[in-house]
Amino acid sequence: MNVVTVDTPGGQYPITIAPGRLDSLAAAIPADATRVALVTNPTIDAIYGDRVRQALAASGKPVFDVMLPDGEQYKTWETLQLIFDAMLRQKCDRRAVIVALGGGVTGDIAGFAAASYMRGIRFVQVPTTLLAQVDSSVGGKTGINHPLGKNMIGAFYQPVAVEIDTDVLRSLPAREISAGLAEVVKYGLILDREFFDWCEQNAQALRALEPQAMGYAIRRSCELKAWVVSQDERESGLRAILNLGHTFGHAIEAGLGYGKWLHGEAVGCGLVQAAELSAEVEGLPRADVERVRQVVAALGCPVQAPDLGEQRWFDLMKVDKKAAAGEIRFVLTPEIGRAVTRTAPDDAVRAVLSRTVA
């Protein structure tokens, strides 16, 4: 069992990482909790619902379900309202606790519900996708989409605990694993050269969900993200480096239409493009660009970007929220293990597109 402590102005809490952790969830329920709202979706409920309900029953608290429709398209105000409806009907007071069992969509909505129900109640994250385990469940960003923009309505709100069961990854499709691994190797690229080397050496073990390798990858990712978030909870500076690969990646997602590529697949490809741009403007050695390309491919993500048309690439990257006053701000890596944020000349970006677009 591994425990990583997250320490932010918004709260201190443990991330516990262990196979079979689902069966010990009662330990994460605060002693003074009055009720437990288990927020999940039918896909996850069908596989893990009974086990989780049984584990939570051991807390001795009344547990009720809030079933949300499955999918990013339901990360909406209406879905959020389903949680409030159920909690009010169950007469939940301020000492009720929300348990978010699911991927990033479930965690983001349930976290925002916890941030706003009666001005804030406690919640426990039980992330079940690799992306949620290494990224979205750590750091306290919660929220929903608006028809005019993704993640536009939300709050910074930290959980009281994050409970990671590494066994649940076995029921995830291989594409979801690869997508999560792109975010894992991203942490090595921005902060930890040795971890990047380790990801290169263990790419196959990770894709095969080898327990020891996966446990370490999740722990190290959580440690690195927790460190960044502890320095900059509200993304006023340092936290921006977590967006390495995301300016290109978001353009791919939006350009192809959301859902065509998984977010992490687009980020994987974006990491290669950011490495190419880092070679252009920050002197990252070409050999290191090739290492990035190879590790992203080895983890099962695409390394060739789709042909969106040059102008459209630029337009899409300028809408990305990191574009300040028309200039595109990129996260770049002058060397593996270190990140900076910079604007880059359009010519350099064109050169990258010519080398990375299929």
Q: Which of 141, 186, 293, 329 is catalytic?
A: 141
Is 141 near ligand NAD (CB under 6 A)? yes
- Residue 119: CB atoms within 10 A of its CB come to 7
- Using CB under 6 A as the binding rule, whether residue 133 contacts ligand NAD is answered as no
Task: Give one DSSP letter per residue of 19-31, joined into a string.
Answer: TTGGGGGGGGS-T
Of 28 and 182, the one with the shorter C-beta distance to ligand NAD is 182
Whole-Å CA distances, 176 to 103, 119, 162, 180, 301: 11, 34, 20, 6, 10
Gap between the Cα atoms of 282 and 232, Å rounded? 24
Work out which of 104, 188, 245, 249 binds ligand NAD, going by CB under 6 A: 104
Cβ(24)–Cβ(54) below 8 Å: no
Please tell me the distance from the alpha carbon of residue 88 to that of residue 68, in angstroms, as a whole number. 16
Q: Which stretch binds ligand NAD (CB under 6 A): 19-27, 130-138, 253-261, 323-331?
A: 130-138
239 is catalytic: yes
Binding flag, residue 310, ligand NAD (CB under 6 A): no
Pick the closer one to ligand NAD by CB: 132 or 190: 132
Q: Single out the catalytic residue among 78, 89, 91, 119.
A: 119
Least Å distance between CB 156 and ligand NAD? 10
The residue among 184, 193, 263, 264 whose CA lies nearest residue 225 is 184
CA dihedral over 248, 320, 256, 105, signed as positive or negative: positive
Stretch that binds ligand NAD, among 42-50, 204-212, 215-223, 329-337 (CB under 6 A): 42-50
User: Please, what is the Cα angle at 131 between 226 and 101, to 5 degrees?
Assistant: 90
Binding residues for ligand NAD, rule: CB under 6 A, are 41, 43-44, 47, 70, 72, 75, 102-106, 108, 128-129, 131-132, 135-136, 139, 141, 151, 168, 171-172, 176, 263
Catalytic residue ranges:
119, 141, 183, 225, 235, 239, 243, 246, 250, 263
